[in-house]
Structure 1
Amino acid sequence: MVRESFAIGSVRVRAGAARDLALPITRLVTGADVDLPVRVLHGREDGPTVWVNAAIHGDEVVGVEVIRQVLAGLSAKTLRGTLIAVPIVNVHGFMIGSRYLPDRRDLNRSFPGSPRGSLAARIAHLMMTEVVAKCEVGIDLHTGSDQRSNLPQIRADLDDPRTRDLAEAFAAPVMLNARLRDGSLRHAAREHGATVLLYEAGEARRFDDWAVDAGVDGVRRVLARLDMIDAEPGEDPPPSVACDRSGWVRARGSGILHLDVHLGQEVEQGQRLGGLSDSFGRRVRLVHADRTGIVVGRTEAPLVNSGDAVVHIAERD
């Protein structure tokens, strides 16, 4: 029996086919159309409907490359189920390398949105109605912000058995039990009954190869766990370290920062993480860990002011 075609926007994608389409968002002041780019792979065989998206923040480009590489290795003829890929959600921000939309709104605080609200609300509504509402699982790809880099990690509701199972399948170095934020895609999708993983890795505006590779491998492992593709042969990856909470160590003075710790390093409470110096190299203040755990994020900015976040430490579950 032939599988039914998949409806999205104004088109239908037949079973065993891939289709690129552009969902209308708005027009620029020049009159040029702005569209949400989407690729649908509608497999010949039945299976889950899953979405993967990136660049909700327009300067977070790692996920765009993750999606490109994942799609390059998939075929609708062999896929079981349906995959909806949205590589660039914040099209306006992506075009100018900005985290935000032109009105300075954070798109990831604007879900589920509204068809007659702000630009952010309209994009959020389009994403929810045309993509999320059709899916049961989603993977939301992010990077660090504000000159910060992140260790590859999954943030999700690890108290939910299915979510935890998929987080374990992704096999990032760390999986963090992260609370839901009002207005986020993850929160709105959960309200619709979807299982959502949020992937964080790398730094904004950069294709960090290690962050891209971990993301590609993780997405493919989740698709395999859902039986949409065959699992890759070879050794199983190391299991993710489950972490229950996390927090940023903040600078207690201002100066030029020199960090002595790297992403993924395990640190002890009270351990020296680095130090602050003045412009002549005189030590102003040391930076110490306020908890025991794993370094999952760090600032890459050399200049810090008192109160700035410098090292993100996740505590083991």
Structure 2
Amino acid sequence: MPRRVPRPSFEIGPVRVRAGRRQSLSLPITRLVTGADVDLPVQVVHGREDGPTVWVDAAIHGDEAVGVEVVRQVLAGLDPKALRGTLIAVPIVNVLGFMNGNRYLPDRRDLNRSFPGAPRGSLAGRVAHLFMTEVVDKCEVGIDLHTGSDRRTNLPQIRADLEDARTRELAAAFAAPVMLHARLRDGSLRHAAREHGAKVLLYEAGEAWRMDPWAIDAGVLGVRRVLAFLGMTDPVDEEPPQPSAVSWRSGWVRSRGTGMLHLEARLGQHVSEGERLGGLFDSFGKRVRLVHANRTGVVVGRTEAPLVNSGDAVVHIAEVDD
């Protein structure tokens, strides 16, 4: 019987990870005024058997904690000796922002508008370039984990280019309650990664700077389902999961007045155009105005702000296919 040839080691940064092993490493980003180094934390799980190379990342925005816990739990459940393929995990991309609970980098740039970056550009551009060259360029598929921003919370959902057949298959495998067709934005990780040939899913769930258990659980299960769909792990569901509702259009209901907001609409609730979603009240409790749905669909996001001004976004509704 011929001797089995071991799978080659995986090269990333200054290290080589042997097949059937996991290894953590740090990729240099910058140096603080104190002289301390700031590094990008990475863990590679390099399976014994051949298979796809996939990345999962979180905290591109420094105030998004849910994805960090999702990555931790996914890694804890992986056995490199049984994995087919390679997983690159980056739990905190925006390290400087995360340390301060700040969505942006110290240069006030949005990292998710700074891709693909440049090795001698701004701080955001340098982080983006490092991530592209050391992570994205080595992978076929990526899962980018996010939460709501600006005191908003999101229903677990996948945002992706649903017009691309392969990307839609991956989104369906994740099986979030909703998968939403989302256009690509210049400077985003999704846009830059697609230009480099990778398929990317963007997971949205929960609220910034919170550890919402329901958002974490749905994210962990979704990532595991995608890895199983790609043949990297064994199936995670005994029964097929509930298919995602598909949405090609969505929009925010905006406040038509200023006041204290009392929302009745819940995440995941199906609403009809014109349906009452809540109301605005002044400081004495007098109702100023009602909030109504501007379309029929599923509530996929809502503000958690107690006070809203005229024109503020309050409820995000996705129109879904029957």
Quick one: distance in 1 between partners of 2:188 and 2:197?
15
Quick one: distance in 1 between partners of 2:274 and 2:81?
55
Q: Give 1:83-232 correspondences, 5 Å limit.
A: 83-232=87-236
Q: Which of 7, 23, 29 is equivalent to 1:3?
A: 7
Q: Which of 283, 308, 313 is equivalent to 2:312?
A: 308
Which amino acid in structure 2 is aligned with residue 68 of structure 1?
A: R
Give the number of equivalent residue pairs.
Answer: 317
Q: Which runs of 5+ in 1 are unaligned?
A: none
TM-aligned CA deviation for residue 129 of structure 1: 0.2
Secondary structure class of the residue paired with 1:67: helix
Quick one: distance in 1 between partners of 2:118 and 2:264?
46
Quick one: distance in 2 between partners of 1:105 and 1:276?
34
Partner deviation per Cα, 1:24-67 (whole Å, 9 max, x = no partner): 00001111100000000010000000000000000000000000
Quick one: distance in 2 between partners of 1:94 and 1:232?
31
Quick one: distance in 2 between partners of 1:44 and 1:141?
27
Quick one: distance in 2 between partners of 1:33 and 1:307?
43
Which residue is equivalent to 2:29?
25
Partner deviation per Cα, 1:171-226 (whole Å, 9 max, x = no partner): 00000011001100000000101000000000011110000000000000000000
Which amino acid in structure 2 is aligned with residue 55 of structure 1?
A: A
Secondary structure class of the residue paired with 2:190: helix
Quick one: distance in 2 between partners of 1:60 and 1:295?
21
Which amino acid in structure 2 is aligned with residue 298 of structure 1?
A: R
Report the TM-score when normalising by structure 2.
Answer: 0.98
CA RMSD of aligned residues (A): 0.6
Secondary structure class of the residue paired with 2:102: coil
TM-aligned CA deviation for residue 233 of structure 1: 4.4
TM-aligned CA deviation for residue 305 of structure 1: 0.5
TM-aligned CA deviation for residue 75 of structure 1: 1.1
Q: Structure 1 residue 74 and structure 2 residue 78: aligned?
A: yes
Quick one: distance in 2 between partners of 1:114 and 1:298?
36
Report the TM-score when normalising by structure 1.
Answer: 0.99
- Identity, % of aligned pairs? 79
Partner deviation per Cα, 1:144-178 (whole Å, 9 max, x = no partner): 00000000000001111110111000000000011
Which residue is equivalent to 2:303?
299
Which residue is equivalent to 2:52?
48
Which residue is equivalent to 1:257?
261
Quick one: distance in 2 between partners of 1:28 and 1:61?
23
TM-aligned CA deviation for residue 232 of structure 1: 1.8
Quick one: distance in 2 between partners of 1:235 and 1:256?
44
Quick one: distance in 1 between partners of 2:77 and 2:195?
31
Quick one: distance in 2 between partners of 1:70 and 1:178?
25
Quick one: distance in 2 between partners of 1:131 and 1:232?
26
Which amino acid in structure 1 is aligned with residue 24 of structure 2?
A: D
Which amino acid in structure 2 is aligned with residue 19 of structure 1?
A: Q
TM-aligned CA deviation for residue 106 of structure 1: 0.3
Secondary structure class of the residue paired with 1:263: coil
